[in-house]
Amino acid sequence: MQKSWDPMPITFEVLEKDIAGRVGRLKAGSRTVRTPLLLPVINPHLQPVSPAEMKAMGAEGIITNAYIFSRSSEFRDQALSRGLHDLLGFDGLVMTDSGSFQLSVYGDVAITNRETLEFQQAIGSDIQVPLDIPTPPDADRARTEKELAVTLARLREAREILGPDAPLAGPVQGGIFEDLREKAGRDVGEIGFSFCPIGAVVPLMESYRYRDLVRVVMAAKRGIPPSACVHLFGAGHPAMFALAVAMGCDVFDSAAYALYAKDRRYLTTSGSYRLDELAELPCACRVCREYTAQELRESEDSVRLLSLHNLAVSFAEMSTIRQAITDGVLWELVDDRCRSHPQLLRGYRELLNFSGQLASGDRVSKRRFFYRGTETCSRTEVITYQEALSRLPLGESVLIAMDGAFQDGYDTVLLFKPPFGPYHPALHETFPIGQSEIPDWDAPMVSRGCDGIRILIAANPGARFTVVSRPEWYDLVSRELPGIEVSHGNV
Ligand code: GUN
Ligand code: ZN
């Protein structure tokens, strides 16, 4: 097969960070797109919204299935002669999937790894996907290992067939086994992939298993090089984008906008509604301003109109997320989004269990830190702050004045701000002490702050500590700090 261009490697540049989320610039071939990015799925046989219309709505890229084109008498020759961009009428980034999804649904596909790769290249796809094997979450370890080995062999073969600079995606599989996911991520990086989709997570999302999703993605991320662009295959519900971005996912592809529309469902960032249950259309998009809920319900065009709304909501959420990263308020957004469904809340709480893993990559300073309840106590900023406490230089006698009242007679006097803990008065305008807003103290935040005191005490075995509590917190603080001199304060 004649190559009509020199392949250019996929490159990814991180511009802004928050938690493990990034605002970035992804280059594939001659196309440059901003991430986090949503690639709407285009089905050439059944497309309620054209790629050109999507472009006008702000879509910088789309994804379609090369397998469908290769099997279609209608589209195959046209795709080969005109190229995908011309055929679809879309001059942004076009990624193609290989047929692996059909493999996972039907158990078999009539195409080889080499055939799909050569076809994807021939139709001018900007990002090409080898024939990986999406191992379902209920597969046992032996099957998962075996299929992962096949996937990795196909990724190596893909590099050999298309060359080291070909714009290839390297899917990370490994089922629900965290060690396999981590190893797969590392191997895919070592084979030379800078664009790494995390695969076979659709069944987890379809059954709302967000806690397992978090474990699998965090495991894969431990292995994938931090410089690689990470795509979460098949993630399309806007309520979970923020959570996934916080874990370090940069690209999403969604058929949800069309699938939900076909099912007469209306997407929002806090879940989906049946159109037939809506009395109002609570959205600012063009469809929702032009139509009443009743008109939308009764329209012959309701699937297409719902698709347009669902897309608008999804694109707007990507903008919201990029802005949150730039402002350093992604945790607040994740907290917002994940309260809309108990399983999302479960996923969010699981993510907080990984705050240690996340803290080392998080940004140092943020615009603000808003306390929003118990979950906030486990955020990365708290972990990072308390780790630094063990390096705080102290005198021999230390007063921690929770009541804010300075007293003479101590070498060091520290104040206290929950959930962080003790702080030097000179630091009261620096992040996070100065930028954090907390309501009236509550027990979880005071306990968490006491963790900070214990870290300080453990790091300074030679110092003598006195803690002056606020009277109303005396019982809790003395329970949290056994063996430490705690007084009531203003008594
Ligand atoms: N689409 C959804 N999941 C997957 C996956 O694991 N692999 C590929 N190639 N496509 C997918
Ligand atoms: Zn709308």
Query: Which amino acid, residue 29?
Result: G
Name the token pair of 458: 């453990």
Q: What is the pLDDT of residue 183?
A: 98
Pocket lining: 100 vs ligand 1, CB cutoff 6 Å: yes
Ligand 1: nearest atom to the Cα of 173: 6
Rounded-to-integer distance, Cα 91 and Cα 107, Å: 34
| Of 102, 158, 103, 97, residue with least CA distance to 123 | 97
Name the token pair of 389: 């406490």
Residue with CA closest to ligand 1 atom 9: 100
Following DSSP, what letter does each residue of 445-469 receive, concatenated?
A: HHHHHHHHHHHHHHH-TTSEEEEE-
- Domain spans in the chain, listed from the N-terminal domain onward: 11-359, 369-487
φ, ψ (nearest 5 deg) of residue 301: -100, 20
Q: Which one of the listed residues 18, 97, 132, 253 is annotated catalytic? A: 97
Q: What is the pLDDT of residue 490?
A: 64
Ligand 1: nearest atom to the Cα of 198: 6
Q: How far is the CA of 42 from the centre of ligand 2 (A)?
A: 20
Q: What is the largest distance, in Å, between two alpha-carbon atoms of the chain?
A: 88
Query: What's the Cα-to-Cα distance from 74 to each of 69, 77, 85, rounded to whole Å?
Result: 8, 7, 16
Q: How many residues comprise the chain?
A: 491
Rounded-to-integer distance, Cα 155 and Cα 482, Å: 56
Contact 52, 85 (CB under 8 A): no
Q: What is the pLDDT of residue 340?
A: 94
Residue with CA closest to ligand 1 atom 10: 101
Instruction: Classify residue 432 by its DSSP letter.
Output: T
User: How does pLDDT run along the chain (491 residues), one tens digit per residue?
Assistant: 444 557 789 999 999 999 999 999 999 999 999 999 999 999 998 899 999 999 999 999 999 999 999 999 889 999 999 999 999 999 999 999 998 888 777 777 889 999 999 999 999 999 999 999 999 999 999 999 999 999 999 999 999 999 999 999 999 999 999 999 999 999 999 999 999 999 999 999 999 999 999 999 999 999 999 999 999 999 989 999 999 999 999 999 989 999 999 999 999 999 999 999 999 999 999 999 999 999 999 999 999 999 999 999 999 999 999 999 999 999 999 999 999 999 999 999 999 999 999 999 999 999 999 999 999 999 999 999 999 999 999 999 999 999 999 899 999 999 999 999 999 999 999 999 999 999 999 999 999 999 999 999 999 999 999 999 999 999 999 999 999 999 987 64
Pocket lining: 174 vs ligand 1, CB cutoff 6 Å: no
Pocket lining: 116 vs ligand 1, CB cutoff 6 Å: no
Q: What is the pLDDT of residue 489?
A: 75
Contact 318, 34 (CB under 8 A): no
Q: What is the pLDDT of residue 108?
A: 79
Q: Please indicate whether residue 336 is annotated as part of the active site.
A: no
Which pTM does this prediction carry? 0.96
Q: What is the pLDDT of residue 5?
A: 59
Q: What is the pLDDT of residue 41?
A: 97
337: burial class by Cβ within 10 Å (0-12, 13-18, 19+)? buried
Virtual CA dihedral for 46, 48, 53, 55, nearest 10 degrees?
-60
Q: How far is the CA of 397 from the centre of ligand 2 (A)?
A: 62
CATH class of the domain at 11-359: alpha beta
**Residues 6 or more apart in contact with residue 54 via CB below 8 angstroms:** 40, 62, 90, 311
Pocket lining: 403 vs ligand 1, CB cutoff 6 Å: no
Q: What is the pLDDT of residue 2?
A: 41
Residue 141: alpha-carbon gap to chain centroid: 26
